[in-house]
Structure 1
Amino acid sequence: MRIFTVIWFGQLVSLLGTAMTRFALLIWAYEQTGQATTLALLGFFSFGLDVLLSPIAGVLVDRWDRRLVLLFADLGAVLMTVTVLILYTTGTLQIWHLYMVQALTGGFAAFQAPAYTAATTMLVPKSQYLRTSGMRSLASSVSQVFAPVFAGVMLRLIDIGGVMLIDIATFLVAMSTLLIVRIPHPTSTQKDLTESKLWKETGFGFHYIRHRHGLLGLIFLFMGINFFAALTYFSILPAMILARSGRNELTLASVQA
């Protein structure tokens, strides 16, 4: 449980920094275009590659070192932030840059999420699963509640570049925690994976869900909830609040928190 707590703390800090940067870039994007469509596209590119890669990411993660997957996912994400920071400080940052960065970041997240879940099951006994699930939910909630407020305040004090520097620092914290721990790897996992095996094991997940109607219905329910929540949260709500508040980031931060 101690090792999981160390990793969890690093991921908590990283989630907070990432959410702060996401909020800051959302403000910047709206200031550049003044269009809700821009914000909606940011959300689309953020989740698009994540959704496409997730079905096969789990199969691959089962055969890879979970700690290395987490490290490389964090490294990829921090390189994306560094890229945006360089473009911003040189005055060459454009909206399409953000679309590409969001898509690639989503791709890294597609591998990070199953690796984190798989690592958790290897680090704690089954009796602690509920506790670890609660801790992970807490980390997500903390980033959603406090990141907009922190980012809104920081934007007034140190600008977007400073917020991204904070994000980079939080990634370094997360990567440091991963460097000092060891995550067991299941010895029964077959490391050889042909293309046919990849698609067979990926299809098994869909087959399993399709034949369990209760689970399938639950997935469709949450898919609908997330779709409409994202529709309002990423496009309509931020644009409406910024338009009615004179583009006041603190007002938007208060509403989103």
Structure 2
Amino acid sequence: MQNSWKKTFAIIWTGQFMSLLSSSAVNFAIIIWLSLETGSAEVLAYAAIAALLPQALIGPFAGVYIDRWDRKRTMIVADGFIAICTLIMSVLFYMGHFELLYIYLLLGMRSLGSAFHMPAMQASVPLLAPESELLRIAGINQIIQSVSNVAGPALGALAIGLMDIGQVLLLDIAGAIIAITSLFFVKIPNPSRSLQEKSSIKQVLRDISLGIKGVTSNKGLSYMFLFSILATFCIMPVAVLFPLLTLQHFGGGKFEMSVIEVVWGIGMLAGGGLLGIFKPTMNKVIIINCMHLLLGITLAISGLLPSGGFLIFVVLTTLGGIAASVYNACFTTIIQEKIDPTMLGRVFSMFFSIALLPSMIGLLSTGFIADNIGISRTFVILGSIISIIGAVSFCVPVLMQLGAKKKEIKPAEEMEVG
């Protein structure tokens, strides 16, 4: 592994970059289309729910099978499923069926594929690279995502200006084909399992229980999950309102929307680059808490800006991108370090589900919040709460110890017996 992991990741990253780039372009094109066609916070919220709810609902069950199935094959099938769904939707739009329902269905189908692809990819990382390189790899992953977030919106804005939404969707299909092709050239090992491989309902529920124990048996991890879930609950409504804040509060258009998406990606690129180059030795929990503080402050100040403060909004969004990138990399690395590889698939899936399901409540109320509280005030309130979460996290000793010491991992069998 010491000699081949870099080559393996180079091949995987090449395919994933093309897939992420095309997905970023298509996602932004859809956001522009929805924002300009409807100008409705509720429509954007429903689109976000369609893109997240299926993944949240099936996530725990998907994680069990990810840990059982061949992870390379799982990623290939998931990417292929997303491509087929996108192709069907593109044909519908080509035939003139421009309806919101089809957009929601497309986002829902993509969410189902992501429920398997994303955890399978993250669960494979510790099996492909040395543990000492996990944080650096997480940083490079953030760089790839960030470059996609920088170039994707520009490409999406150009595409939606030159083509209709049905043709734009074809970009995502091309990216999926490249990603699938790259996976055929690498070998991704699967963790050895001594547990009997059954797929009965009882066995699936038992495996989900093991995944939950993998987190709850470590109080520090439990608190980290709790604070991340609370922060996600506040972040999701704000994320949906970003385009409308640009359009309605700052009086922007397609260009300004693209600028905000690009500088967010630049911020994430900078954050991932710092981690990839310097590989900080500071307690990663401290870094996570600081990033919650930084992200919350940038959001709160953004809501206080006057309508002529767009340039300051650009700077704050860049800082928010840095905070999000560093947080995601550190959070992922801690899980990969503390959880048995045989349970990583279900743990990642479980977190996505537990974090996203409460956020649906926030998203459902997005329209009400935007109409009654105001978009700017929403940024101030939710940003302040995120900062408070970051500050309170410093006051939990067991959480602070999580990043200070490396704890011994319990095998799945021992956890079951205990």
TM-score (norm 1): 0.90
* 2:237 is the counterpart of 1:231: yes
CA contact (8 A) 2:90 2:167 kept: no
For residue 227 of structure 2, the aligned residue among 216, 221, 242 is 221
Q: Larger deviation: 20-29 or 141-150? A: 141-150
For residue 110 of structure 1, the aligned residue among 106, 115, 122 is 115
Unaligned runs of at least 5 residues, structure 1:
none
CA contact (8 A) 2:15 2:179 kept: yes
Q: Deviations over 1:115-156 (max 9, x none)?
A: 112322222232332232222222222222332122123323
CA distance in structure 1 between the partners assigned to 2:232 and 2:101 by the alignment: 25
* 2:212 is the counterpart of 1:206: yes
For residues 1-150 of structure 1, what are the structure 2 equivalents within 5 Å?
A: 1=5, 2-150=7-155
CA distance in structure 1 between the partners assigned to 2:17 and 2:119 by the alignment: 16
Shift, 1:162, TM fit: 4.3
* 2:200 is the counterpart of 1:194: yes
Indicate the SS of the match to 1:46. Answer: helix
Shift, 1:247, TM fit: 7.2
CA distance in structure 1 between the partners assigned to 2:255 and 2:235 by the alignment: 21
User: Alignment identity in percent?
Assistant: 28
Q: Which has the higher contact order (CA 8 A, sep 6+)?
A: 1
Q: Which residue of 1 aligns with 2:393?
A: none
Compared CA separation, residues 245 and 82, structure 1 to 2 (3 A): farther
CA contact (8 A) 1:153 1:250 kept: no
Q: Deviations over 1:170-224 (max 9, x none)?
A: 1111011012222223343543332211101102222343343332222222222
* 2:185 is the counterpart of 1:174: no
Q: Deviations over 1:198-257 (max 9, x none)?
A: 1011022223433433322222222222222221222x2212323467772221111122
Unaligned runs of at least 5 residues, structure 2:
263-418
Compared CA separation, residues 55 and 223, structure 1 to 2 (3 A): same
In structure 2, what residue type is equivalent to 1:90?
M
CA distance in structure 1 between the partners assigned to 2:10 and 2:250 by the alignment: 40
Shift, 1:53, TM fit: 1.7
Task: Tell me the number of residue pairs that the alignment of Structure 1 and Structure 2 aligns.
Answer: 256
CA distance in structure 2 between the partners assigned to 1:175 and 1:12 by the alignment: 12
CA contact (8 A) 1:154 1:163 kept: yes
Q: Larger deviation: 3-12 or 214-223? A: 214-223
Compared CA separation, residues 62 and 124, structure 1 to 2 (3 A): same
CA contact (8 A) 1:66 1:185 kept: yes
Shift, 1:159, TM fit: 4.3
CA contact (8 A) 2:89 2:166 kept: no
Compared CA separation, residues 254 and 38, structure 1 to 2 (3 A): same
Indicate the SS of the match to 2:19. Answer: helix
CA distance in structure 1 between the partners assigned to 2:217 and 2:198 by the alignment: 28
CA distance in structure 1 between the partners assigned to 2:95 and 2:251 by the alignment: 27
For residue 189 of structure 2, the aligned residue among 179, 184, 191 is 184
Indicate the SS of the match to 2:68. Answer: coil
